[in-house]
Amino acid sequence: MNAFILKIIIFLIPITLLLLALCFFANGYTDPFYVRFTTPTQQNLIVGTSRAAQGLQPDIFEKILGIKLYNYSFTVAHSPYGKKYWESILKKHNKKKHGVFIVTVDPWSISTWCKNPNDETQFRENTLAVANTHNVSMYPNIEYLYKNLKGHYKDILLAPTKKLFLHENGWLEVKDIKMDSASMNKRIAEKITKYRTDHQPKTKFSKVRLDYLLQTIKYFNNYGQVYLVRLPVHSEMIKIENEIMPNFNDVISNAIHLSKAYLDMTNDNDKFLYTDGNHLYQTSGREVSEIVAQWIKSNN
């Protein structure tokens, strides 16, 4: 019996070491979220969905504001405002005072596809990384890799797509994307069709999500200044958003009231380039980041 157990332990040591070593290879190419769960807790945060994840570049903020802002935004599936995202934000925040927080908003981030939009047990994010990763500042984050990379462990070594790279500061860079008008318009048309035919019909405003947005802002207010931002999107996308929530600014009026300032950039939609109508192209993302940073500076 003892020999049996000893042999098993001896047998398992190399494979355990190998697995551990494999975890160290995981990086920004592994998937679009992993790195955010491996960095230390942060004082200054950008929160929101993929628009913020791809659009707001912390390097620019550092240059202009002289602070390290961490982009803790995911996707509309992972991180619309809600209990799970709220809990994850709490874990990522280091509870230091004098922080700067950029809270990005749009109709999707306070909506849901559930039959009952206020039944948070049915929210999509409940089974996703923000909900199932208990430690958000661990390197390597074995829990994240085990739970969220199932079926894709080989991606750690192969990094199947080099087109997405998640920086250490949380910015998700989309690389090598064709930006000629034909390719760009095709992607935009596809995205708009998908949102209009698939997403729009099932999207409903959620009071619960709005309450969590307010709760998030109130929490951040205890630790610093909160800046509320609505990022620009393609003109076709804003039409859809205006249809699902025509009075968006009224809906979030309490959030505006709670924040230090609110910047609605959707009036300048046509000034920027989008990879797919929903996300800013990186050059435009840089411009938008500069505008937001200057706006924060002027409000400080």
Partner 1 sequence: MFFNSIDFAIFLPLVFILYWFVTNNNLKLQNFLIVVASYIFYGWWDWKFLSLILFSSIVDYLVSRQLGIEEHKSKRKALLWISIMINLGLLGFFKYFNFFLANFKAAFSFFGSEININSLNIILPVGISFYTFQTLSYTIDVYNKKLKPTNDFIAFSAFVSFFPQLVAGPIERATHLLPQFYTKRTFDYAKAVDGLRQILWGLFKKIVIADNCAEYANQIFNHSNHHSGVTLLLGALFFTFQIYGDFSGYSDIAIGTSRLFGFDLMRNFNFPYFSRDIAEFWRRWHISLSTWFRDYLYIPLGGSQGGTVTKIRNTFIIFIVSGFWHGANWTFIVWGALNAIYFLPLLLTNSNRNNIETVAKGKLLPNPKEFFAMLLTFGLTVLAWIFFRAENIAHAYHYILGIFKNPHSYIQIGIYWKYKIVLCLILLFIIIEWIGRDGQYAIERIGYTWKRPLRFALYYAIIIAIIWFTGKDQQFIYFQF
Q: Which residues bind partner 1 (CB under 8 A)?
A: 1, 3-4, 8, 11, 14-15, 18-19, 22, 146, 150-154
Q: How near is the Cβ of 9 to partner 1 at its closest, in Å?
A: 10
> What three-state secondary structure class fits 204?
strand
The residue behind tokens 């190399």 is 14
Q: Which residue's CB is nearer to partner 1, number 29 or number 72?
A: 29
Q: How many residues does the chain have?
A: 300
User: What Å distances lie between residue 253 and 23, 109, 262, 298, CA to CA?
Assistant: 44, 15, 10, 22
Residues contacting residue 211 through CB under 8 Å, at least 6 positions apart: none
Q: Which residue's CB is nearer to partner 1, number 143 or number 236?
A: 143
Name the residue among 194, 281, 267 with its Cα closest to residue 230: 267
Helix residue ranges, H only, 151-234? 155-158, 181-194, 200-202, 207-221
Q: Which residue's CB is nearer to partner 1, number 154 or number 297?
A: 154
Cα–Cα distance for residue pair 255/259, rounded to 1 Å: 6
The amino acid at residue 132 is: N
- Beta bridge partner(s), residue 70: 45
**Pairing state between β 111-112 and 69-71:** unpaired
Q: Which residue's CB is nearer to partner 1, number 20 or number 90?
A: 20
Q: Which residue's CB is nearer to partner 1, number 167 or number 194?
A: 194
Q: How near is the Cβ of 35 to partner 1 at its closest, in Å?
A: 21
DSSP 229-276: EE----HHHHHHHHHH-TTHHHHTHHHHHHSSEEEEGGGGGGGS-BSS
Q: Which residue's CB is nearer to partner 1, number 10 or number 182?
A: 10
Q: Which residue's CB is nearer to partner 1, number 23 or number 288?
A: 23
Q: How near is the Cβ of 153 to partner 1 at its closest, in Å?
A: 5
Q: How near is the Cβ of 1 to partner 1 at its closest, in Å?
A: 5
Q: How near is the Cβ of 151 to partner 1 at its closest, in Å?
A: 4
Q: Which residue's CB is nearer to partner 1, number 2 or number 298?
A: 2
Q: How near is the Cβ of 134 to partner 1 at its closest, in Å?
A: 13
Cα–Cα distance for residue pair 209/206, rounded to 1 Å: 5
Q: How near is the Cβ of 7 to partner 1 at its closest, in Å?
A: 8
Q: How near is the Cβ of 36 to partner 1 at its closest, in Å?
A: 22
Residue 34: phi and psi, rounded to 5, are -50, -50
Cα–Cα distance for residue pair 83/201, rounded to 1 Å: 24
